[in-house]
Structure 1
Amino acid sequence: MSQVNTQQMGRLVAAGSIENLDEAVNALARLEALHIIDYDGSEDGFSLGSPNPSSEDVGKVLVRARSAASIISTDGPDNPVPQAPVRKSLSDELPSKIDELLQASSRIDDLENEISALEEEMGGLSMVAPLGIDIELLGGYDSVSSFVGTVTDTDAAAAAVGQGGILFQAKKGNQNIVAAFVRSEESQSTASSLESAGFESLALPEGSGSASERLEKASSARDVLVSEKNELMEKIAAWEKSNGEMLACGLEVLERDHDVLTAPVRIAVSEHAFVLDGWLVMGRADEVQKELKQVCLYTEVTPFEMEAGGGGHGHSDHDHHQEMPPIAFQDRNTSKPMELLTDAVGRPAYGRIDPTVFMLVTYPIFFGIMLGDMAYGLITMGLGIMLIQRSGTNEMLNLGGKFLMYIGVGTVVFGYLYAEFAGWEIFPHHGSNPAEALQFLYPAIDQGAYHVWSASFPLGIELAFPFHRVVMVSDHGNLEHLILLTIYLGVIHVFLGLIIGFRDIMLYGNGHGGVGFICAFFEKGVWMVLLVGGFLFAYGFLGPSDAEWMLMPGAVICVSATVMLMWTLYNYHGVPFPINIGLAPIEAVGMMPTVISYVRLFAVGVVGVKIAETGNEKLFSPMMDIISDGGQAWMIPVLFLGWLAVQFFAWGLGVFSPNIHAARLHFVEWMRQYYDSSGEEFRPFGLRSRFVEVD
């Protein structure tokens, strides 16, 4: 099947003797080809299967292994390892080592609690120790009230206690600590007077004896506990270094085993038989049936066929709704990194066009148009290569690295077309710069000229090489030309989305029961007509005088499309009259900002260039002047570091901002013309391998 479609799916039903259930599950796990449909218990005579008895033992080890994995940090081996040594370790020393790790971690938790309690006690003791009074003497009297705390005004505190009381004073840093003792009948007035002295009560430590001695003992005890904790943490670090990779591998094997052993709970069983139900890719149907026939009495695979007008994941409110299969991407290599973008939106509904291959072409182009600088493209490619080299068994990181390579290539290509390097023009219109050294990469340009080649095309299209996007046309640049090109690119991109939507609705329906050419015309064809009419009207209105003839035909086409859109809203979307009459013009006008949104391809790029250009003018040029003049040499490293900071800021902004805007143009402006993201991901049951090979 074409790469622009997802894989054809089929429904597998298999039945066999209950004694062969475990063998059937093991076969499916090895094949990793069936998306199991969990049995819902709705059929008479069938119930959910029971997990394999050994799953309980595996589950216990798995829980401990997961706990251990949460304690340490390990990425696992860089390359998959054989399964045999991992299983040998699981049956031998790894469980006991896991227990050692868990015990050490548990002891650290206990130590942290004890240390926290001691530090809290030391905090209280350190406040009262300067008073030199034993702890039991600070309170607990029958006829005497005590006040222990801090004050801001010691003279006021002394006055509050008066002649009839006793006041002890001490200092701890900038704090004034007091202990006041008065007769119980004077406690209320003393408390009121102490408030004016800024009195704040201290929590008295429990126990007895000298606070200083207690503080010294608590400090010694804490030091012992901290030392023990540090030793255990070093032990855990050593454990991680020697056993971390094996733990990651063992955890993967245990999770595989647990999935297989508990899989029967997803399958319908009776007293004597079991029934498997699920989706598979038709390309593997024969392979799966051949394997299952060895353990099943009956197998059948039925290719899935869309019912016109009844498809779509969702729309369950309609009377007729077809159960849809999960979505499996085509087997890909080059375009596989772009699946990250498709999955970010959601997989396409079954039978609909898969945008992945389209984005392999358009996404790097859009990104390159915006960033368009050879230096930044090379840095982006370098980052991508680094991620690929460090990805190891991490497929997501590997795909991310390849994605950066793609957009980096697009940036280098457009940087070459723009003749830009690190914010400099390779063929500067004014002055000179270091990037002029790269002129050898280009064909010779005549003296006084700025382009190797330039040409004018219909509809005001101007192309040139190099294409000077940051220089006005009046100064022999192409800035205004790029603005116009981005609008035309928006028209083409949106029109492509409408064509895809037309095809999908004509073949599979609009999700509301409509299907066929007529439905597709009113759902998507009307928008195509509107887009063409709007283009003619806009060009006739804004273009040269010899294009004014387009004005009237464009207006007629737009009005006709708007009238047809009224019918679309009424007949296919249930918008009642007269609301549809008012809503249609509003919807029609919405096409204009959709197309104009593509001007961001120009605007975002120019902003990034100007940031880098500012750094070059304000930092790099003065640095070169100092180097040539020989004065204020101390400024050279300052200016150089500042220039590097601006360059990396411009590159970082250039990587994130164009990605955001390229994603918006694809996910919003383009995909909303056709895309149905209701597809469910195809998740085949099986022994997925990341760190450990599958036998």
Structure 2
Amino acid sequence: MVEMSRLTVAAPLDAMDEVLAACDALGCVHVQPYEQFEEGIGVGQAAAQEGRGELLTNVRAVRAATSAINASGAMPRKQVESLIDGSFPGRIETAMGLLRTIDETHASIQTLAEERDVMGRLAPLDLPLELLNGISGLEVLVAETSKASKVRDALGDLAKDCEVLAKDRIVAVACRPIHAPEVQIVLGQLGAKVVQVPPGEGRAGKREAEAKSKILRLEAKIASDQASVDAWVEANGRDLVCVHELLERQENLASAPTQMAVADRAFAMDAWIPTGRAEEVRSALKPHASLVEVEAWDGGHHGHDDHDDHGHGHGPEPPVEFDNPSATKPFELMVDLVGRPSYGAYDPTTLMMFTFPMIFGAILGDWGFGLVIIALAMFLRSKPMATDPVVKNGITILLWMGIWCVLWGFYFAEGFGFVWDNYTWVTYEFTNGNSPLGFLYPDKPVELLSDDFRALIGMNHLTYPLHRASAGHGLEEYVIFSVYLGVIHLLVGFVIGFMNVLKAHGAAAAFFEKGSWILILLGGFMHARRFIAFDGDLFALNAYSAVMLVGILCLIVGLSVYEKFGWAGGIIMGPIETFGLLANTLSYLRVMGVGVAGVKIAEVSISMGWEVMLTQFSAGGIGFLWGAIAFLLFLG
């Protein structure tokens, strides 16, 4: 995580443009909005954009409507400025014209589609629209009902004063205006829905056909215009992206005065900068400002009275900027998905880089599917969309997931659902009874740990390869591995939390808030292990259970004092939260559950698909058809 410093700048009001221009050129100044309003001091006004506001609006609209990317890399600022001052505004107007035409065409299609639907409902009547709209001294009521054939009977004596035409689900009743209310009541009793007849001339069937024809022509026009837009993006995508980035920066620069403290003749700016660039920032701003101060920010730690939600006390905190090596940087995307840590806290990106793909690989555990994932990642990497930083990071994460699947797959001896060591390889004629990968594995699984160490961790076997879905040959060990993984993963998280709180609020808060959880986790785990492995008494008081009880008492204090639950809340919630930790630990059994389920599903697909396919293919004739069906079953 990049270390940040507090920047304070004061200068005459007429030097604001120079100061902001220098900040923009530096590209590392994060302005802190002014919020402490006092008499005579306010905030500034946004600067005029010199006609570029409309261009930015158009650029945003085109970026939102297209998938433009910059596949050729960054462009010098002077070149971007020359684009803005040159032909680019005309080119963006061309794109906007195409997009507006597409929107207008879509609106026309929607109107025609509504007309088509109405005309389609009226078409069975085969009457002119001018007649359905009524004529002088005659009102025509058109409605839709599943009981159209019963309308005449429902009208009763009123039918002799009306003309009724019913076809399919549509009915038209012509009557004098004086009888119209009674006819409406009868139609309502039959559950009929009134159909609003649009104005116009001609028969509904013909109008429906005309609407369909117009829709087809308009859809073809949309396809043509969209092709023109795609061609425009292909030719101007890089320019569009670069211009957009520059205009957005200039927009932020123009609105920066609204975040500063401004008096009659001077202004002051608070901001954050990377500590490593402090001298560069000071040198760039000194010619334009009367005061430039850079102060290293030290949040310090506070007593528990100043600590809510693990903040660093009162006042604004620095922005968080990651500082990770290139191999780890893609996993910043995953950290952002769950929320960036506060400034000064531990950056979990490196930990995420190992744990996420590793656990995913342990669940899937098949080198064949891992190779498929790697191939998919390499395919996506070859596409133009991979130039987008977010997409590129996502593809890199996918690649790591595939690599870990391959590693675990070789350890489990699993690939494409098959077990590939000679010890369990199914004998097929084309392999002469040997696995094609048998050279990677011994004739029988080899123990990896000594007897004493296996006894210490409670495992009967830990072999290479590990048949994780075979009872007595890896299944129990896979279960134990999942539990150990959960305990270690949670312990690492609690230790990181302990260090974060220690740095922010001191040792006492860290011990009672996070140290209590460490005591509960370790004490509870060792007590449970003693009970299961050595047939101990679940409710016996021993060193491990004592540690867990001390942890619960410390947790009660932490909740009551440091988390502001109060003593009543702490005493109630402390023991309840302990069961939540047990659930979190056991939830890692999903690693085992999903992994074993995947193996068994693959086993079923092999027995019902692959083996049947080989049998049918060897039979010949119609067997090739059944073999092909069995192969599809195998793939499914």
Shared topology, TM-score over 0.5?
Answer: yes
Partner residue, 2:299: 306
CA RMSD of aligned residues (A): 4.2
Counterpart residue number, 1:334: 327
User: Is the aligned partner of 1:423 residue 2:405?
Assistant: no
What is the number of residues matched between the two proteins?
623
Q: Which residue number corresponds to residue 483 of structure 1?
A: 479
Aligned to 2:466: 467
Distance in 2 between the 1:614 and 1:500 partners? Answer: 43
* Structure-2 separation of matches of 1:488 and 1:401: 30
Quick one: which of 582, 605, 630 aligns to 1:615?
Answer: 605
Structure 1 residue 303: deviation in Å?
0.6
Query: Higher mean Cα deviation, 82-91 or 314-323?
Result: 314-323
Residue 278 of structure 1 and its aligned partner are, at CA, apart by 0.7
Q: Secondary structure at the match of 1:469?
A: coil
- Which of 606, 627, 643 is residue 634 of structure 2 equivalent to? 643
Say which SS state the counterpart of residue 329 (structure 1) adopts. Answer: coil
Select the residue among 596, 603, 626 that pairs with 2:586.
Answer: 596
Report matched runs for 1:43-192 at 5 Å. 43-53=38-48, 55=49, 57-111=51-105, 113=107, 117=111, 136=130, 146=140, 152-153=148-149, 156=152, 167=163, 174=168
Q: 2:318 corresponds to which residue? A: 325
On the 8 A contact 2:616/2:624 being kept in 1, the answer is yes
2:527 to 534, 537, 545: 537
More relative contact order, 1 or 2 (CA 8 Å, 6+ apart): 1
The change in CA–CA distance for 1:240 and 1:170 in structure 2 (over 3 A counts) is farther
Q: 1:161 to 1:241 in 2, by over 3 A?
A: farther
Which sits farther off after the overlay, 20-29 or 531-540? 531-540
Deviation of 1:614 after TM superposition, in Å, equals 1.7
Structure 1 residues 545, 108: closer, same or farther in 2, change over 3 A?
A: closer
What corresponds to 2:576 in structure 1? 586
Query: TM-score of the superposition, structure 2-length normalised?
Result: 0.83
3-state SS of paired residue (2:605): helix
Cα distance change on mapping 1:408 and 1:301 into 2, 3 Å: same
Compute the displacement of 1:11 (Å).
Answer: 0.3
The whole-number CA distance in structure 2 between the counterparts of 1:571 and 1:193 is: 74
Indicate how the Cα distance of structure 1 residues 342 and 206 shifts in structure 2: closer, same or farther if over 3 A, else same: closer
Q: Work out the CA distance in 1 between the residues paired with 2:273 and 2:50.
A: 30
Specify whether residues 147 and 565 from structure 1 end up closer, same or farther in structure 2 by C-alpha distance, changes over 3 A only.
closer
2:11 maps to which residue?
Answer: 16
User: Could you say which residue in structure 2 is the equivalent of 1:522?
Assistant: 512
Bigger mean CA offset, 261-270 vs 315-324: 315-324
Out of 495-504 and 212-221, give the one that drifted further. 212-221
Cα distance, 1:211 vs structure 2: 7.6
Report the CA distance between 1:351 and its aligned residue. 2.5
SS in 1 for 2:587: helix
The 2-side partners of 1:630 and 1:487 are apart by 50
1:23–1:168 Cα change, 3 Å: same
Write the deviation string for residues 174-226 of structure 1: whole angstroms up to 9, x where unpaired: 56765x65667776777788889998765445356888898898888878877
Cα displacement (A) at 1:507: 3.2
Percentage of matched positions with identical amino acids: 29
Alignment partner of 2:358 out of 362, 365, 371: 365
User: Alpha-carbon deviation of 1:464?
Assistant: 1.5
* CA 160–248 in structure 1, closer or farther in 2 if over 3 Å, else same: farther
Of the candidates 488, 493, 501, which is equivalent to residue 489 of structure 2? 493
The offset of 1:334, in angstroms, is 1.3
Say whether 1:273 aligns with 2:266: yes
Q: Would the alpha carbon gap of residues 159 and 239 (structure 1) be closer, same or farther in structure 2, given more than 3 Å must change?
A: same
Q: Note if contact 1:154-1:176 (Cα within 8 Å) is conserved in structure 2.
A: no
Q: Distance in 2 between matches of 1:490 and 1:277?
A: 44
Q: Is the 8 A contact 1:453 1:465 kept in 2?
A: yes
Q: Distance in 2 between matches of 1:564 and 1:195?
A: 72
* Alignment partner, residue 22 of structure 2: 27
Distance 1:553 1:408, change over 3 A: same
SS in 1 for 2:542: helix
- 1:459-509 CA-to-partner distances (Å, cap 9, x unmatched) read 323421111211111xxx111012122222333333333333333333321
| One-letter code aligned to 1:50 | Q
Kindly report which structure 2 residues correspond to 1:222-241, keeping only aligned pairs within 5 A, or say none. 235-236=228-229, 238-241=231-234
Aligned pair in 2 of structure 1 residues 606, 66: CA closer, same or farther (>3 Å)? same
8 Å contact kept, 2:528–2:538: no
Q: Which runs of 5+ in 1 are unaligned?
A: 1-5, 510-514, 646-695
Deviates more, 1:149-158 or 1:595-604: 149-158
Q: Which amino acid aligns with 2:424?
A: H
Distance 1:317 1:478 in 2: 43
* Structure 2 unmatched ranges of 5 or more: none
Equivalent residues of 1:156, 1:194 under 8 A apart: no
Return closer, same or farther for 1:311/1:29 CA change in 2, 3 Å cut-off. Answer: farther
> Given the two structures, how large is their TM-score scaled by the length of structure 1?
0.77
1:389-400 counterparts in 2 under 5 A?
Answer: 389-390=382-383, 391-400=385-394
